[in-house]
A = this chain, B = another copy of it.
Amino acid sequence: MMPAGGAETRGQQIATLTRIARDLLLAPETEKVLEKAEKAIEGLPADAAERRMVQQTRHAIEHHRSVPASLIQERAALRTMAQSAWIEARSKSDFSIFAPHLQKTVELSRSYADCIGWTEHPYDAMVSIYEPGETASSLKALFSQLRRGLLPILDVARSRPQPRSDFLFRDYPEERQRAFGLDLAETLGYDFQRGRLDTTVHPFEVSFTRNDVRITTRYNRNHLPASIFGTAHETGHGLYEQGVDAAYTRTTLATDLVGLYAVGGTSFGAHESQSRLWENHIVRSRTFWRRHFPDLQRNFPEPLGDVSAEEFYRAVTRVEPGFIRVEADELTYDFHIMMRVEIECALMDGSLPVAELPGAWNAAVKRDLDLIVPNEAQGVLQDVHWSTGYIGSFPTYTIGNVMGAQVMEMLRRENSSLDAAIEAGEYAVLADELRTRIWRHGRRFMRDELLERETGRRLDIAPYLDYLESKYA
């Protein structure tokens, strides 16, 4: 909603607020209060909310004490430069324009990792910002299972003739897409009394408290799925935030004390699990379109007149390797992630020099997707992440896929009326389950702890592979 001219000063305002938040966290008064609180929680159960608040505050203080303000400033300054270099590099499809900034990003990330501390691999420190508990080594193990599981499913899917998908690219007026999207979000349970759905170039979800959650989507007049599945995805994120226990509002259990911003989800991966669950397990399902395709057709009688619900479902689950991560189907998406994480690890430990990145990228795309990258804009320069100083966040997309399937499998197993409710379009049953088991806890439990409480297992890849196999093979 901000006018374009406000971006620079808004950035300065956010930097000021973040610095003040950090200063308050590290102030002697906070230390005194915290020490008192540490005494007060003795005797409380290990998982008591109060105990967790205190422990998380202590952990955040240690984190921020370890990172000097000068490094934070250097990273912020770099970000501004790197982003405009990346924009130019991408528009000219010329990696060399971005390379020196990426080199600096890697160097500052290494310094940052050293400040935070790591034992096995510097990447471990970076991942801990987004997905506490994961490491280069745990991800390597996860990805090796995932790769082994995905390849045969992908083979089967690719051996079948492609369904038609021509109708997805017809003329879909934006206003109609918007009306359908608003209905969709509401149908899934998004509370518009405490949320909005707006339009942006890059879809996102952001929450200021559980009572003020904003989600956005984009509308492509000649490509219907972008807005539908984008809206479903962000609705999933929004539901998580709206579902956090009201008692945690404006406490550390709804705040990322390391990143210093309000968020109720317990990790990036846990957050992504909810968006992917609603996007893929619910909306990208045959059940959903059997029920709701007539609504969609009513909104778009012209372009969807000659299409059946089954044809629509098959078109939106079509599998086809491509160069672009954000356009990837469910079966190839994780390959995009795995190669990025592999590259990030190699950049962080120095085994891959920045200059050799384009070559490594293209080789990975050839190896995993059997495609020849046509240019750097559609290859190594496609994602914004590295230009913002983000190294270490990519794994959370795949973790979200895995966790979403694990939660869904558990719910289906434990609630025998869930499938019938979903078939009947009564999504409140699913939302209630997720609210009780996941959302309301906010950041009280770490991701694996939450999974163990609710599914009896830490992050487990089996349900995800089962889901993909039954859907795509």
Q: Does A161 contact B (CB under 8 A)?
A: no
Q: State the CA gap A421–B211 with chains docked (Å).
A: 50
Closest to A10 in B: B212
* B5→A194 contact, CB < 8 A: yes
Q: Does A470 contact B (CB under 8 A)?
A: no
Shortest CB distance A196–B (Å): 6
Q: Does A332 contact B (CB under 8 A)?
A: no
* B211→A9 contact, CB < 8 A: yes
Interface size on A, residues (CB 8 A): 26
* A6→B209 contact, CB < 8 A: yes
Interface readout for A9-20 with B: 1 if CB under 8 Å, 0 if not? 110110000001
Q: Does A250 contact B (CB under 8 A)?
A: yes
Q: Does A249 contact B (CB under 8 A)?
A: yes
* B249→A196 contact, CB < 8 A: no
A3 in complex: contacting residue of B6, B9, B20, B193, CB < 8 Å:
B193
* A250→B209 contact, CB < 8 A: no
Interface readout for A82-97 with B: 1 if CB under 8 Å, 0 if not? 0000000000000000
Closest to A8 in B: B211
Q: State the CA gap A317–B11 with chains docked (Å).
A: 45
Q: Does A191 contact B (CB under 8 A)?
A: yes
Q: State the CA gap A212–B20 with chains docked (Å).
A: 22
Q: State the CA gap A20–B195 with chains docked (Å).
A: 27
* B1→A1 contact, CB < 8 A: yes
Residues of B within 8 A of A196 (CB): 1, 3
* A24→B13 contact, CB < 8 A: no
* A10→B193 contact, CB < 8 A: no
Interface readout for A216-250 with B: 1 if CB under 8 Å, 0 if not? 00000000000000000000000000000000011
Query: Which residues in window 159-204 of A have CB below 8 A to B?
Result: 191-196
Q: Does A44 contact B (CB under 8 A)?
A: no
Q: Does A4 contact B (CB under 8 A)?
A: yes
Q: Does A33 contact B (CB under 8 A)?
A: no
Shortest CB distance A390–B (Å): 25
Q: Does A2 contact B (CB under 8 A)?
A: yes
A5 in complex: contacting residue of B2, B10, B12, B193, CB < 8 Å:
B193
Q: Does A208 contact B (CB under 8 A)?
A: yes
* B211→A6 contact, CB < 8 A: yes
* A20→B24 contact, CB < 8 A: yes
Assuming the contacts A20-B20, A20-B24, A24-B20, asked whether A191 and B5 have C-beta atoms less than 8 A apart, the reply is yes
Assuming the contacts A20-B20, A20-B24, A24-B20, asked whether A195 and B3 have C-beta atoms less than 8 A apart, the reply is yes
Residues of B within 8 A of A9 (CB): 208-209, 211-212, 249-250
* B13→A208 contact, CB < 8 A: yes
Q: Point out which of A12, A209, A250 has the most chain B C-beta atoms below 10 A from its C-beta.
A: A209
Closest to A16 in B: B250
Q: State the CA gap A192–B1 with chains docked (Å).
A: 12
Residues of B within 8 A of A5 (CB): 191, 193-194, 211-212
Which 4 A-B pairs give the minimum distances between C-beta atoms?
A6-B212, A5-B194, A9-B209, A5-B193
Instruction: Sample 11 A-B pairs with CB under 8 A, ordered by A number.
Output: A3-B213, A4-B193, A5-B212, A6-B194, A6-B211, A8-B211, A9-B209, A10-B212, A13-B208, A13-B209, A20-B24
Q: CB within 8 Å of B: which residues of A?
A: 1-6, 8-10, 12-13, 20, 24, 191-196, 208-209, 211-213, 249-250
